[in-house]
Amino acid sequence: MPIFLYPVLLWVMFTGVTFVQGVNEGFTSREIAERLRLPASLQRGFANRGYYGTLKHNAKAVYQGYLGWYDGNPANLDGLPPVEAGRRYVELAGGAGALLATATGAYQRGEYRWAAELLNHLVFAQPDNAAAKSLLANTYDQLGYQAESGPWRDVYLAAAYELRHGVPKEMVDLATMADVLRRTPVDRFFQSMSVRLDAEKADGVDMAVAITFSDLEQTYLLSVKNSVMHHREASPAQAANASLQLTRELFVRMLTGDVGLRETLTSDELEVDGSVLDLVRFFTLFSTPDGLFNIVTP
């Protein structure tokens, strides 16, 4: 069924037709992104250049927002994971040496997007292939140098760094984010907690904890059931297994690691009602990912 998007999207031209027409005629997000162009009158505007977001990037996001990730091609409905696909592409190419030679030729001709696609398969198939990783890093360097978008450049160069040096050893220190955290609505912290719930640990758990910020006069009820955490603003008298009352400042200091458990429990800014054991059990249900994971290597 044809779709109809917000009229502002009609500004962009899709090789003679609009974005909406391209979607209605069956073009996929990648096809639209590749052929989408701003009219000349808009291209000249400084604010319309892709220094941050890019037309390609945003077109795919709009497509996905309306139609989802699936492009209608059954081959993409349940594709192989990267490592398995990589192994089979290497075999299809006639081995690692043959694929690397083809990618080297593409790199030398300046076909960096094609070189990256080929080498990505080889690196996922053979993560210890130093020659493949080195050439892919050089390829990402070139793509980064050519990128008008700052974030795209960051992504390419960060990928090149990982290929050469591995994953960074540490992430941004939360302590440096204290001022930002103080200005972040507390509701956002509970949204973050909900996606960090360890589903296996929470299997069979049915409990609730109330958290009151005494200086904000706000209470939130956090409940775990069916291995999912929900939160909502509630009254201080809401029934719960345990209730925790603290100041926002202490909460931020806990998040940044500025205060330890002993200092927290003995602080005048914190009060606990109900079962302390249930309170401790509740918070042990959540994992704390370090954010240090591979992106361009398996």
Q: With CA atoms as reference, report the closest residue to 267 among 286, 253, 277, 256.
A: 253
Strand residues in 172-213 grouped as ranges (E): 207-213
Residue type, 139: T
3-class SS at 137?
A: helix
Please tell me the distance from the alpha carbon of residue 196 to that of residue 190, in angstroms, as a whole number: 10
- All structural domains of the chain, each given as residue ranges with its CATH number in brackets, are 7-76 (1.25.40.880), 82-165 (1.25.40.880), 174-283 (3.30.1050.10)
pLDDT digits (tens, 9 = 90+) for 109-154: 999 999 999 999 999 999 999 999 999 999 999 999 999 999 999 9
Interior CA angle at 121 toward 115 and 125, to 5°?
140
More confident site: 90 or 64: 90
Distance CA 213, CA 251 (A): 9
| C-alpha 296: how far from chain center | 14
Classify residue 197 by its DSSP letter: B
Phi/psi at 80 (nearest 5 deg)?
Answer: -70, 150
* Model pLDDT, residue 78: 96
Report the SS3 class of residue 12: coil
pLDDT of residue 228: 96
Confidence of residue 182 (pLDDT cuts 50, 70, 90): confident
Half-sphere exposure of 92 (CA within 13 A, CB side): 10
Strand ranges, E, within the chain: 13-14, 17-18, 36-37, 207-213, 218-225, 228-234, 242-246, 270-274
- Hunting for tokens 């043959």 — which residue is that? 98
Kindly tell me if the per-residue pLDDT of 39 is higher than 50: yes
- DSSP line for 52-99: SS-HHHHHHHHHHHHH-S--S-GGGTSPPPHHHHHHHHHHHTTSHHHH
Q: Which residue has the higher pLDDT, 219 or 292?
A: 219
Residues in CB range of 7: below 8 A, 6 or more apart: none
pLDDT bin (cut points 50, 70, 90) of residue 49 is confident
